[in-house]
Amino acid sequence: MNKLTKLLGSELMATDTFVRAITHRSADGKHNERMEFLGDSVLGLIITTELYKRIPRASEGYLSRLRASLVNENALAGIAANLAIGDFLRLGPGELKSGGFRRKSILADALEALIGCIYLEQGLEAAKAFVLAVYGELLESLPSEDDLKDPKSRLQEFLQSRGHDLPEYNLMDVQGEAHRQTFTAECVVPRLGIRTQGTASSRRKAEQVAAKLAFEQVSP
């Protein structure tokens, strides 16, 4: 029996609410976007409450970064793939041909819609039980506060703690049309002779890539 079937049960999966939860907008006018909106809020409440209880001394900033790491598209799509949600999705012909049942955004939205479905059909406690079940391993191996900090923050804190000047960031190059540009940014730590470059779809992301490479050079 499929993991999802074991968790939800055939009774819930026979409801119109479930059918809507697995229906992408490409397949039908009665799609899952509204239910995904609801499920996103329910998921956020459950994860926030669980983190608050599990780590009583964690700062607000750490809790916020933890929550973001658990409810982002990558995390949701990974869980959805593990549950084989793609096997149940109702997609239009175009999405079927292009492999929509494997697309991260579609899988992530479907998982949130399913959480909304459980909440509507069975209530908050049932939704909580489902979320905690599918998030089990992730909740048991939460990353440290340092691991969750973005590369620029980690590099800055490391340099400051050792009395070095702050890194400098320079935009080196921008290529492509306005709607599909790539940016190359440079990170410079003059006193240590470090100069790295990163390329990404935005200046901020390019700076983060460059900072990550610089941090790898200065950290033990």
Residue 112 annotated among the catalytic residues of the structure = yes
- Per the rule left: phi > 0, alpha: psi between -120 and 50, beta: everything else, 140 is alpha
Measured in degrees and rounded to the nearest 5, phi and psi for residue 185 equal -120, 155
Q: Is 109 annotated as a binding residue?
A: yes
Catalytic residue among 40, 95, 186, 207: 40
CA distance 75 to 140: 14
- Per the rule left: phi > 0, alpha: psi between -120 and 50, beta: everything else, 99 is left
Q: Is 28 annotated as a binding residue?
A: no
Q: Is 145 annotated as a binding residue?
A: no
Residue 150 annotated among the catalytic residues of the structure = no
Catalytic residue among 16, 28, 50, 112: 112
CA distance 149 to 157: 10
**Residues placed in the known binding site:** 36, 109, 112
Active site residues: 40, 112
**Residues placed in the known binding site for Mg(2+):** 36, 109, 112
